[in-house]
Amino acid sequence: MGALGDVPIPHVGVSGHMITVENLVKEFSVAGGIKVAVDDISFELEVGEFFTLLGPSGCGKTTTLRSIAGLEKPTAGVISIDGRMVFDHRVLVPANKRGLGMVFQSYAVWPHMTVYDNVAFPLQVADERLRRSEMKTLVNEALELVDLGGLGDRAATMLSGGQQQRLSLARALVAKPKLLLLDEPLSNLDAKLRDRMRSELRVIQKQIGITTLFVTHDQVEALSMSDRVAVMNSGRLEQVGNPQEVYHDPVSAFVADFIGGANMFEGIVEAIEPDGSAVLRTDIGKILGRGLPGLAVGHAAVASIHLEDVVLTPDAATEVDRSNVFDGMVSLGLFNGPSVVYRVSVGDHVVEAQVGGHDTFEINASVAVVFPKRHIRILPRGEAERSAVDDAEMA
Ligand SMILES: Nc1ncnc2c1ncn2[C@@H]1O[C@H](COP(=O)(O)OP(=O)(O)OP(=O)(O)O)[C@@H](O)[C@H]1O
Ligand SMILES: [Mg+2]
């Protein structure tokens, strides 16, 4: 075996990718034409990674997940799982041969079965010859993993919502898949339970090190659980990055807006400084911030700053750097314990600022509102923003 071409293809892709999606497109025929649900997206998941598709309703998250699962036949593109091509224009590996576990939004357990039988069922279907003792070991391991050990004999319907959710997870994991696909698995749970399940799910995922593709429209869920987040908009990927990157360094107004918790001011770029910072002319005045490469004078753009980065001071005269300082008046304060969120009128705008719970301002007090330049992003308002607006108007 001398030539490089003779080297056998390793089981896991050379790059260590568990999933590779290249130029995936999925179109649906709908009354009156074609709906492009997934519009030429590419991404990959590292082995062991927790990767989240995040985006508004209808942006194509489920369609992407179902394409990877083999439940949807893509229009175009290439999908590989664990170094093996499962879809391209000649290949279509069926869902049950892709070696993955899935949990859906409606995590429906089978009500006429016991907890044990719910988990055993996928094994029975997959392999009729599996010995009873082996099956018992696998099922009990899966139930232990999700903390349902000892409840095997109970009717599945006699479990709480959170337990049923864990049961569906055990069912997805029992055959020891190398890949776990989760489509909004927590959305049927009440807020408190959802919170707890987030950390439980993440702990289980880390414990067994399973590569996980998670789908949600909840940005807090995405940020708190993921190694990396892909923000989707109208069938496209707007940004892929770790939670800190998509939160602190959004690449577009859409991402900043969707991730949330930011004040946004629309305007026109007036100048680009040699250091890359940009000056945006807005309704409240000029805002100076970090501009993205590609931004040019005359572009429509948005200045974005997180609530916790806004500084409120009683007196503007104390500010040494006069840029991004605005006169405001406090109109409302919402104390939540660790912090207070103030609404401050600046011209015709309302600025929201989150300050420590010990910093208090009187209603109607005059304050200086400061946007530290390093925390301001000047972001392009692209095609995607406009189409998102169009969609919202059509809905
Ligand atoms: N079988 C189908 N036939 C026609 N259109 C479809 C079909 N499935 C999905 N779509 C459309 O494709 C787009 C993407 O749908 P998808 O279910 O992937 O969105 P999603 O991001 O999962 O949304 P949600 O957060 O609401 O679950 C939507 O406009 C949807 O209406
Ligand atoms: Mg969906």
Instruction: Give the domain ranges of the chain.
Output: 17-243, 249-315+322-394
Ligand 1 within 6 A of 281 CB? no
The pLDDT of residue 389: 41
Closest CA to 304 of 332, 282, 320, 274: 282
Classify residue 55 by burial, with Cβ atoms within 10 Å: 0-12, 13-18, 19+: buried
Question: 349-356 and 262-272: which strand pairing?
Answer: unpaired
Query: What is d(CA 172, CA 144) in angstroms, rounded to the nearest whole number?
Result: 14
What would the pLDDT profile of 84-106 be if each residue is shown by its tens digit?
999 999 999 999 899 999 998 77
And the tokens for 35?
Answer: 């709906």
Closest CA to 71 of 89, 94, 103, 46: 94
Ligand 1 within 6 A of 39 CB? no
Query: What is d(CA 103, CA 88) in angstroms, rounded to the nearest whole number?
Result: 25
And the tokens for 363?
Answer: 């209603």
Residue 175 CA, ligand 2 centroid: distance in Å: 25
Atom of ligand 1 nearest to the CA of 235: 14
CB count within 10 Å of CB 223 equals 18
Ligand 1 within 6 A of 250 CB? no
Question: Which ligand has the shortest distance to the CA of 104?
Answer: 2
Grade residue 319 by pLDDT with cuts at 50, 70 and 90: low
Give the mean pLDDT of 243-261.
Answer: 93
The pLDDT of residue 234: 97
Minimum CA distance residue for ligand 1 atom 3? 28
For 127, the 3-state DSSP assignment is: coil
pLDDT for residue 13 is more than 80: no
Grade residue 382 by pLDDT with cuts at 50, 70 and 90: low
Residue 233 CA, ligand 1 centroid: distance in Å: 12
Atom of ligand 1 nearest to the CA of 28: 4
At which residue do the structure tokens 């209603």 appear? Answer: 363
Minimum CA distance residue for ligand 1 atom 16? 60
Out of 5-14, 31-40, 354-363, 369-378, least confident range: 5-14
- What CATH fold (topology level) applies to the domain 17-243? Rossmann fold (3.40.50)
Give the mean pLDDT of 231-244.
Answer: 97
The Cα-based distances of 2 to 6, 7, 9 in angstroms read 7, 8, 15
pLDDT for residue 14 is more than 80: no
Query: What is d(CA 166, CA 325) in angstroms, rounded to the nearest whole number?
Result: 50
The Cα-based distances of 346 to 268, 302, 328 in angstroms read 19, 17, 5
Query: What is d(CA 298, CA 155) in angstroms, rounded to the nearest whole number?
Result: 65
Residue type, 199: S
Minimum CA distance residue for ligand 1 atom 28? 58
The Cα-based distances of 95 to 53, 67, 89, 90 in angstroms read 20, 9, 16, 16
Q: Who wins on pLDDT, 108 or 337?
A: 337
Grade residue 15 by pLDDT with cuts at 50, 70 and 90: low
Mean pLDDT of the chain: 89
Ligand 1 within 6 A of 61 CB? yes
Ligand 1 within 6 A of 234 CB? no
Atom of ligand 1 nearest to the CA of 65: 18
The pLDDT of residue 9: 41
pLDDT for residue 341 is more than 90: yes
Query: What is d(CA 256, CA 258) in angstroms, rounded to the nearest whole number?
Result: 6
* b/e 32-44 (16+ beta carbons within 10 angstroms → b): eeeebbbbebebb
pLDDT for residue 7 is more than 60: no
Ligand 1 within 6 A of 59 CB? yes
Give the mean pLDDT of 23-31.
Answer: 96
Give the mean pLDDT of 319-336.
Answer: 88
Question: Which ligand has the shortest distance to the CA of 230?
Answer: 1
Ligand 1 within 6 A of 37 CB? yes
The Cα-based distances of 329 to 1, 91, 114, 309 in angstroms read 77, 63, 61, 18
pLDDT for residue 212 is more than 80: yes
Query: What is d(CA 367, CA 395) in angstroms, rounded to the nearest whole number?
Result: 40
CATH code reported for the domain at 249-315+322-394: 2.40.50.140
Ligand 1 within 6 A of 106 CB? no
pLDDT for residue 66 is more than 80: yes
Ligand 1 within 6 A of 67 CB? no
Contact 337, 346 (CB under 8 A): no
pLDDT for residue 161 is more than 50: yes
Residue 20 CA, ligand 1 centroid: distance in Å: 22
Minimum CA distance residue for ligand 1 atom 14? 60
CB count within 10 Å of CB 381 equals 18
Grade residue 197 by pLDDT with cuts at 50, 70 and 90: confident
Give the mean pLDDT of 346-360.
Answer: 93
pLDDT for residue 209 is more than 70: yes
pLDDT for residue 315 is more than 90: no
Which of 54, 63, 236 most suits a substitution to test ligand 1, by most atoms within 8 Å of the C-beta?
63
What would the pLDDT profile of 286-304 be if each residue is shown by its tens digit?
999 999 888 999 999 999 9
Sign of CA dihedral 352, 357, 362, 368: negative
pLDDT for residue 128 is more than 90: no
Contact 21, 65 (CB under 8 A): no
Out of 150-159, 200-209, 320-329, least confident range: 320-329
